[in-house]
Amino acid sequence: MARSGGAAPSAAKTRGDAGRVPGLSREQKLELYYYMRLTRSLEERLVNLYRQTKVVGGLFRSLGQEADAVGSAYALDRSKGDILSPLIRNLGSMLVQGARPDEIIRQYMAKGDSPTRGRELNIHYGDLVRGFIGQISHLGDMVPVMAGVTLSFRMRRQDRVGLVYVGDGATSTGAFHEGINFAAVQRCPLVVVVENNGYAYSTPLRKQTAAKQLVDKAIGYGIAGEQADGNDVVATYEATKRAVDRARAGGGVTLVELVTYRRKGHAEHDNQSYVPPGEIDRWASENDPIDRYGKRLLSDGFEQKELSAVDERITAEIDVATDAADASAMPEPTDALVGIYADPPAEQPLWFREGVKSAVEVHERPSGWGTHDV
């Protein structure tokens, strides 16, 4: 396996693409294509909205990494109540779990009816029912949290698995170490996906770790390790599926390293001046995960018009979502005071803001606001 961050895409990454996808139905194979395409097209729409200044904060892309997010999430079983916690380049994994394009756009546009009612940015949101928990910006912190989520599965004898994403950079944090070690000792049904895209902001992998490869870290924790070509959606799916099956069978934690490449900067503002010339173009022309999978499907008996139909359906879905998000209102300022605690349901306005008509004054508490009734 070639290491990313300066390396050219290796021949090994393309090996096996021509073969059949084992264990996946025709419908599932097309679904993988749908989620990867949806991820890319949705992000492209967000870029348009960003340039129109309709995106309030920064914009984070997963261009070239769609396969690792989609393929890994696809290995979970939604019917069993599996839960994942994505990172900033795992929009695709959330879509697999049922996140909707309009929610994503509302989040980026900071709308009052966005999933976090304007409190949090971008894809930082979750839904326990659909099976994803929103990340915070402190990298590595979701590993201990997902250790606890999966600890509860084990304690309650539930047939559920958890999956947490970290990047190559987050493997350097204390929280990553504490969380994965805790989960390993407790034999939690947890899959830790290390999405190695070569860069943490501007820092290449060689400045992040002296380890030869990140999957080696599994040995130190006494857990299973898997490594796969993260730009091959099927290889990603298969490696993660082995880890999910192991977790569900009581075999504990697996560290899955998915090797991929970040073709865009940390966020839209980042000009990637630190990337060696030609590196991005090589990955784009030789190792684009959607191009690779599209060719594979065509050689596997699919017709171009089937793929084109998926592309058209996605465009229509995103158009509808964009219009809906664009039309919705920004939050009421005083909504900022609702929901710090279960009781009281809202903070009182400070004295210099008294008299402001607000949800606070009527003690509005939205149903399901951080309660267990779902």
Interface with other proteins (CB under 8 A)? 116, 119-120, 124-126, 128, 133-134, 136-138, 141, 143-153, 155, 174-175, 178-179, 181-183, 185-186, 339-343, 347, 351, 368-372
Give the other-Cβ count within 10 Å of 301's Cβ.
10
What's the min distance (Å) between Cβ of 143 and other proteins?
A: 7
Dihedral, CA atoms, 247, 250, 252, 256, nearest 10 degrees? -20
Closest CA to 158 of 86, 254, 82, 74: 82
d(CA 343, CA 359): 15
What's the min distance (Å) between Cβ of 126 and other proteins?
A: 6
Q: Which is nearer to other proteins, 158 or 304 (CB)?
A: 158
Q: Which is nearer to other proteins, 290 or 336 (CB)?
A: 336
Q: Which residue has the tokens 């590595």?
A: 140
What angle in degrees, to the nearest 10, is found between the helix axes of 66-73 and 233-248?
Answer: 30
Q: Which is nearer to other proteins, 152 or 285 (CB)?
A: 152
Q: Amino acid identity of 310?
A: V
Segment holding 204, helix H or strand E? strand 203-204
Closest CA to 121 of 132, 139, 129, 109: 109
Sequence-distant (6+) residues with CB within 8 A of 1 are 10, 12, 13, 213, 227, 229, 259
Q: Which is nearer to other proteins, 71 or 131 (CB)?
A: 131
What's the min distance (Å) between Cβ of 345 and other proteins?
A: 10
d(CA 105, CA 47): 11
What's the min distance (Å) between Cβ of 69 and other proteins?
A: 20
What's the min distance (Å) between Cβ of 107 and other proteins?
A: 12
What's the min distance (Å) between Cβ of 144 and other proteins?
A: 3
Q: Which is nearer to other proteins, 224 or 336 (CB)?
A: 336
Dig out the tokens for 87 from the structure: 């990172």
Q: Which is nearer to other proteins, 277 or 370 (CB)?
A: 370
d(CA 191, CA 148): 13
What's the min distance (Å) between Cβ of 369 and other proteins?
A: 5
**Is residue 5 a contact partner of residue 167, using CB atoms and an 8 Å limit?**
no
What's the min distance (Å) between Cβ of 370 and other proteins?
A: 4
Q: Which is nearer to other proteins, 186 or 328 (CB)?
A: 186
Q: Which is nearer to other proteins, 70 or 142 (CB)?
A: 142
Q: Which is nearer to other proteins, 136 or 356 (CB)?
A: 136
What's the min distance (Å) between Cβ of 84 and other proteins?
A: 13
**Is residue 326 a contact partner of residue 317, using CB atoms and an 8 Å limit?**
no
What region, left, alpha or beta, does residue 247 occupy, with left being phi > 0 and alpha being psi -120 to 50 degrees? Answer: alpha
Name the DSSP letter for residue 54: -
Name the DSSP letter for residue 243: H
Q: In the chain, what's the furthest Cα-to-Cα distance?
A: 69
What's the min distance (Å) between Cβ of 249 and other proteins?
A: 19
Q: Which is nearer to other proteins, 92 or 144 (CB)?
A: 144
State the alpha helices, DSSP H only, in 156-266.
Answer: 174-185, 217-221, 233-248
Helix (H, G, I), strand (E, B) or coil at 127: strand
